[in-house]
Amino acid sequence: MHVPRAQTVRHASPEGSWELVLGAPDPRLRRYVLDTYIGYHEQAPGPVRRRELPSPKAVLIFDFGPPLRILDSRAPDDPGRAARHEPGFAAGLDDTFSITETPGVMSGLQVYFTPIGARLFFGMPMRLLARRVVGLGDVLGVEGLRLRERLLHTPSWEARFALLDHFILRRIHEARAISDCVTWAWQRILASGGGVEIGALADELGYSQKHLITLFNEDLGLPPKLLARLVRFDRVIQALKTSAGRSWASLALEHGYFDQAHLIRDFRQFTGSPPGEYLRRQLPGMGGTRGD
């Protein structure tokens, strides 16, 4: 039986403090859940806004503390357009940033799913979650709300991660199978770093591009070309975390962009700003902003 181990990472500065608790999912979930479960607690002296970047993954949040506010990126200061999902929420694949806000304190548990894992775990066509944030009870029903209560009152992170393993494995085991061609095409996109030609994928499958797009939109929520762009852009974001001082031109070339201008266009679409402004906005380690 898999026994999750918790690794704790802490940070403290004049901007506030946070603690992350990381746990590796059961190895049987490797194709469905990304990297680690993330438990978190943050304390800041005032409200914190963050731009959450789009990426080739869906997210599930169990909220333990004051709920996050999900702001309308077009009008973040309009309280009438803000949403709260107190027990937690799920967010499907998206192609633009979202803005979240906390009162300065937040606590919870986060799971990232691969597109295939999200389709199986949530048990629905991902077109229903694409570009949306949906409350925990609406997406997982009573059993999701009960799991949140169990997680909240379980004393150790190792036990919490074990509960997640069991819950996710069961739902995926019971899920309706996804089309083999969608799984195969997604794996090709991922392995190529987003560089594979979608027309070539369709030809190898013996499908028209239109049919492949329809399958992706239904099962994963976004068309294959856009998912490939997200894969490529996400790899740039990950490289920025370990490549301080690299030129934008070299990053663009390394990750399959035509040139630096091509990369900057993706930055503007996916983050709402050019690369330099995006980097200046980051808080150490957490990607947050004060007042955005």
Q: Domains plus CATH for the chain? A: 6-174 (2.60.120.10), 180-289 (1.10.10.60)
> pLDDT of 183-193, one tens digit each?
999 999 999 99
Q: Which residues of 178-194 are buried (b: 16+ CB within 10 A; e: fewer)?
A: beebbbebbebbbeeeb
> pLDDT of 21-56, one tens digit each?
999 999 999 999 998 999 999 999 998 888 899 999
Alpha-carbon Rg of the chain, whole angstroms?
19
Q: Quick one: which H or E segment has residue 249?
A: helix 248-254
For the residues 118-134, what does the mean pLDDT come to? 95
For the residues 102-126, what does the mean pLDDT come to? 96
Sheet architecture: strand order including 58-63: 6-13, 16-23, 37-43, 105-113, 58-63, 88-91, 133-135
Single pTM value for the model: 0.90
Task: Kindly give, in sequence order, each residue whose CB lies less than 8 Å from that of residue 92, ignoring residues fewer than 6 positions away.
Answer: 58, 118, 126, 128, 129, 130, 131, 132, 134, 221
> pLDDT of 164-201, one tens digit each?
999 999 999 999 989 999 999 999 999 999 999 999 99
